[in-house]
Amino acid sequence: MKSGSCGWCASSNNCIPGNNLGPLAPCLRGQFQFTSPNSEWNPLTSPRVNISRANVNGAQLTTVVSRDPIDN
């Protein structure tokens, strides 16, 4: 899933908080990849999403997670 608040850390094989300026969690130098979502991407079009916001080291972190149908 493309998200504006995370990127891929190849050294840990995991999606981690970050943006176009770099990772906001530990990741080996040169191992973080970030691509902005396209302009049509909108997580709010799905009724089954959780959106949370947090301040991480002075940066706004927004996390969008699809909910499993059993999470009602």
pLDDT digits (tens, 9 = 90+) for 24-64: 999 988 888 887 666 676 666 666 677 778 887 887 877 77
User: Which structural domain range is residue 57 located in?
Assistant: 6-71
With contact defined as beta carbons under 8 Å apart, do 9 and 23 qualify? yes
- Report helix, strand or coil for 6: strand
Whether 32 maps to a domain, the answer reads: yes
Whether 65 maps to a domain, the answer reads: yes
Whether 45 maps to a domain, the answer reads: yes
What is the pLDDT, as a whole number, of residue 26?
92
Residue 68 has pLDDT above 60, yes or no: no
Whether 1 maps to a domain, the answer reads: no
Whether 38 maps to a domain, the answer reads: yes
What is the pLDDT, as a whole number, of residue 72?
39
Whether 51 maps to a domain, the answer reads: yes
Q: Which whole number is the average pLDDT over 8-27?
A: 87
> What is the C-alpha to C-alpha distance for residues 31 and 38, in angstroms, rounded to an integer?
22
Residue 70 has pLDDT above 70, yes or no: no
Residue whose pair of structure tokens reads 């059993």 in the numeric block: 70
Whether 50 maps to a domain, the answer reads: yes
Count of structural domains, the chain: 1
What is the pLDDT, as a whole number, of residue 1?
42
